[in-house]
Amino acid sequence: MSTGPSHDALDPAGSRRVAAVFLDRDGTLIEERELIERPDQVVILPGVAGAIRALRAAGYRIVVVTNQSAISRGRLDPDRLEAVHRALGDALRALGAPLDAIYFSPDPPDPDAEATKPSARRKPGAGMLLQAAAEHGLCLERSFMIGDQPRDALAGRRAGCRGSLLVRTGRAPLPADAAERADGIFDDLSGAVRFVLAQGEPAGD
């Protein structure tokens, strides 16, 4: 399940094994709220547009991967989520920082019932990242995952990303052991992107 304002910008044939930076949405790209269900609730965090522009200039594709369990819980209509994502994409494009794709998981958090398997799509599952790589010929070994919670970093590691980074811009503080679950912790997306770019390997072929 995926949606994105420029979803087809990626190479569907996989003829170019390009690298991507996978980004969490709430608390990483936009201000985190209990529920974002309207376009006017989309508030891009400071420095985000510039960070995305820098990644794109280096050749990285930008893919958002976000958990949206409000859908399965009946609190958010899929059409409203699409409108929110359209607003996010339009706002970033207007700032010269377009997204390539947005993937979301409507699955609920892992249930307590032992008979029910945890979702492979919902982070910390790697499903959304693996789907994006398969559909668009992305090289996960050259890609990075950036988010604001340990589940984001774990999703990146499970997908085989080169690096999984965390930022401190989410509402919830990072747990004490966050440094053990990520390859780096930064104040914001700009700091994480500077780390990515400092690795030196070109993103494209």
Q: Is 30 helix (H, G, I), strand (E, B) or coil?
A: strand
Nearest-angstrom CA–CA distance, 85 and 7: 12
CA of 100: how far to CAs of 32, 92, 169, in Å? 22, 11, 23
Backbone angles phi, psi at 17, to 5 degrees: -85, 80
Active site residue 112: no
**Among 8, 11, 26, 77, the one annotated catalytic:** 26
**Among 24, 107, 148, 152, the one annotated catalytic:** 24
Q: Is 179 helix (H, G, I), strand (E, B) or coil?
A: helix
Helix (H) / strand (E) element for 20: namely strand 20-23
Nearest-angstrom CA–CA distance, 177 and 189: 20
Paired tokens of 146: 């950036």
Q: In the chain, where does DSSP find H-type helix?
A: 48-57, 78-94, 127-136, 150-159, 178-181, 189-198
CA of 78: how far to CAs of 85, 104, 110, in Å? 11, 10, 21
Active site residue 152: no
Active site residues: 24, 26
